Structure 1
Amino acid sequence: MSILRLAHRWAGGLIGLFLAILGLSGAMLVHKDDWLRLTTPHAAEAQMQDTATLAAAVQRIFEDPDPPRSIVLASERLGLHRLSYIDKERGAYADQTGEIVAQWSSKWERPEIWLFDLHHYLLVGDTGKFVAGALGLAGLAFVITGVILWWPTRRLFTFSLWPAKMSRAAVVRQHRDLGVLVAPLLFISLLTGVAMTLPKVEEVMLAPFSSPTEMKASEGAPKAKGGPLAPDTDWLELLNATRAQYPGAEIRTIGLPTKPGALISVRLRQQAEWLPNGRTMFWFDPATAQQVATRNAQTLPTGLRIANLEYPIHAAKVGGLPYRLVMTVSGLALALLGSLAVYTFWANPKFQKRKRPSTPHARA
């Protein structure tokens, strides 16, 4: 047990600050849509999903001399379309008529964009994504070992949001008791985060449900080749074709081909899907706007359907405000536990030297 305690303490002191950053940024991102609704024009408007309105906006956006590569359409919580460009640093928000209301050429121009990049990539791209996943694995180890270390002291449990004083003993006691209290939330947050950032770990987790080969074969784009993008694509007809097959589904994203032979892609979210943008797919030939292939998310292998639950659970995209608050608590708790772990490890407590009692001199 002493070795486990020593390993827990040293690891926490070395990477606790990084876990704190992931926790705090995650807690803030849960409320990204609320921030945009308060600060961005038209963001609080009600979502419009009739195909005529969508087609008119899509046509206006894609007719721009510098069109985006894809559009994420307005949702129930955010009344703006988000535009993404070939240059991944660039982006824009458009209202539901297709008019640009905000745009940026660098992630540093939008707080929600760089915060997302910090949380998912640690601001250093794919390498940061891998590191964030590794930190998540370490966080899972902290949760498990923390519960093991707490168990012998369970009768001393007391609830406290903040240490009674900033002595090492008081901080460790508060860290131990708060950690075990939020352990289930942290386990869910960290496990789903690891699954999204470390594909090999995710494969192992999903292997009991579906083989990696089966999942890979089911999620790839069709092999069919399309022609060059026609300048007069009938977006209304195209969107009506998707709506006709899934009348109750929400049309979520539209993507243009980014290389020769690629297809137009459209994603829908059926009511049973938790993933905000869904995984029900349509592909169309860019030259003729004729449907080439479709995929029903409800018929995907079990492993992929489980994988599609990771992001909505991790980012609190289901469950409404109550679950968003739960995941906010999880993120803030991770930030507090990580930062205090670093504090107790690196701080230099001042130990007062005890004065030795003077020995009385013998009388002559």
Structure 2
Amino acid sequence: MKLLDTLHRWTGGLIGLVLALMGLSGTILLYEHLWIGLPGTGDPLRGDLPTVAATTEKLMATPGAQGIIYADERFGLLQLRFGKEAGAYASQSGEIVTRWASQWERPEIWIFDFHHHLFAGDSGEWVIGIAGLAGIFFVITGAILWWRTRKTFQLRLWPKRMSRPSIVWHHRDIGIIAAPLLLISVVTGTMMIFRPFALGVVAPFGPMAETAKALDPPKFKGGPLADKPDYTAMLAEARRRFPDAEFRILSLPRGPGDPISLRMKQPSEWLPNGRTSIAFDAATGEVLAARDALALPSGAQAFNMAFPIHASKVGGLTWRILLTISGLAMTMLGSFAVWTFWFRRPKPAKRPLKKAALASI
């Protein structure tokens, strides 16, 4: 048990700050649709084909446009993508509301980048993934260590004093209360970073090889991008194939021969941007393939539920409040763990002089 306690303290001291920042940034992102504050964010969704098609044709004619994230019921603006960091918000009638050349001009974008990549791309994802695995270790070992002292449990939202014993006591008791929510947040977050870990989590729902194959994006080979793609015809064909689905993301080819991709969300899908997709030949607009997310293997469908649970895209206000509690608890637990480990460590006890040493003086 002493070894477990030592491992818990050392990993908390080393990784706690990352987890605290993940908890804080994640909590802020839960409410981004409320604080962006641009005109049109609260507009009702207009998902009819004529409106969406006209807006798409207008926005994709903008020089440098690479794709569109369509409005939804929570956020009434479309996001137009121009390149690595540049973009714009537009109304559902196709009027540009605001533009930016760098992510630093939009707080919701750089906070999202920090939460997912630590501003370091793939390397940052690895750090977050390792911190997520450490977070799972914290929850499990913390529950084991708490069991020894369960009779002294006291629920306090804040430590009684800012001394090390009081903080450790508070850390232990508030941690056991938040443990179930923390476990859900950390597991679902880590699933989106480490595919082998995710496959292990959803293994009870179906064979791992089948799930992995279903999650791999299909590869197609088409012609070069046409000068004026017929987006209206593509959207009409997509609506014919999936009449109840919402248009979510339109993306131009990333490289030569890649298709134009359209993602859609069917009513039964939890993922906010859906996994139902259609690939169009960039030269002719013909359908190369269509994927029905509801026909995917059970393991893949279970994996697609991780992000909606993690980001409170399902469950309404109740689940968002619970995730807020989880995020704030992670922020508090992580920051206090670092504080007590590095700045409030107990002073080593002075060793008494041996009698022999005293006799020789």
What's the TM-score once normalised by structure 1's chain length? 0.91
Residues 23 and 330 in structure 2, CA contact (< 8 A), matched pair in contact too: yes
Helix, strand or coil at the partner of 2:79: strand
Q: Output the CA distance in 1 between the equivalents of 2:216 and 2:143.
A: 41
Residues 199 and 212 in structure 2, CA contact (< 8 A), matched pair in contact too: no
> Matches of residues 52-67 of structure 1 in structure 2 within 5 Å?
52-67=50-65
The equivalent of 2:253 in structure 1 is 257
Q: 1:225-275 CA distances to partner (integer Å, 9 max, x unpaired)? A: 222333343322221211122222111111112222111111111111000
Residues 78 and 90 in structure 2, CA contact (< 8 A), matched pair in contact too: yes
> Matches of residues 1-364 of structure 1 in structure 2 within 5 Å?
1-36=1-36, 39-67=37-65, 69-85=66-82, 87-348=83-344
Query: In the superposition, relative to structure 1, how do residues 235 and 8 fare at CA in structure 2: closer, same or farther (>3 Å)?
Result: same
Helix, strand or coil at the partner of 2:89: strand
Q: Output the CA distance in 2 between the equivalents of 1:270 and 1:295.
A: 12
> Counterpart of 2:3 in structure 1: which amino acid?
I
Helix, strand or coil at the partner of 2:149: helix
Q: Output the CA distance in 1 between the equivalents of 2:163 and 2:229.
A: 68
Q: Output the CA distance in 1 between the equivalents of 2:215 and 2:134.
A: 30
Q: Output the CA distance in 1 between the equivalents of 2:102 and 2:78.
A: 18
> Counterpart of 2:42 in structure 1: which amino acid?
A
Query: In the superposition, relative to structure 1, how do residues 146 and 220 fare at CA in structure 2: closer, same or farther (>3 Å)?
Result: closer
Helix, strand or coil at the partner of 2:192: helix
Q: Deviation at 1:222?
A: 4.5
Q: Output the CA distance in 1 between the equivalents of 2:193 and 2:266.
A: 25
The number of residues matched between the two structures is 348
Structure 2, unpaired ranges of 5+: 350-361
> Counterpart of 2:154 in structure 1: which amino acid?
T
Residues 69 and 78 in structure 2, CA contact (< 8 A), matched pair in contact too: yes
> Counterpart of 1:28 in structure 2: which amino acid?
I
Q: Output the CA distance in 1 between the equivalents of 2:165 and 2:89.
A: 50
Q: Output the CA distance in 2 between the equivalents of 1:304 and 1:350.
A: 49
Query: In the superposition, relative to structure 1, how do residues 222 and 333 fare at CA in structure 2: closer, same or farther (>3 Å)?
Result: closer
Query: In the superposition, relative to structure 1, how do residues 146 and 216 fare at CA in structure 2: closer, same or farther (>3 Å)?
Result: closer
Helix, strand or coil at the partner of 1:271: coil
Query: In the superposition, relative to structure 1, how do residues 254 and 345 fare at CA in structure 2: closer, same or farther (>3 Å)?
Result: same
Q: Deviation at 1:220?
A: 4.3
Q: Output the CA distance in 2 between the equivalents of 1:268 and 1:347.
A: 51
Q: 1:86-141 CA distances to partner (integer Å, 9 max, x unpaired)? A: x3222221111222212222221111111111111111111000110100100110
Q: Deviation at 1:211?
A: 4.1
What's the TM-score once normalised by structure 2's chain length? 0.92
Q: Deviation at 1:289?
A: 1.8
Q: Output the CA distance in 2 between the equivalents of 1:188 and 1:53.
A: 39
Q: Deviation at 1:63?
A: 1.0
Structure 1, unpaired ranges of 5+: 354-364
> Counterpart of 1:54 in structure 2: which amino acid?
V
Query: In the superposition, relative to structure 1, how do residues 283 and 349 fare at CA in structure 2: closer, same or farther (>3 Å)?
Result: closer
Q: Output the CA distance in 2 between the equivalents of 1:212 and 1:265.
A: 26
Task: Select between 231-240 and 173-182 the one with higher mean Cα deviation.
Answer: 231-240
> Counterpart of 2:116 in structure 1: which amino acid?
H
Q: Output the CA distance in 2 between the equivalents of 1:318 and 1:142.
A: 26
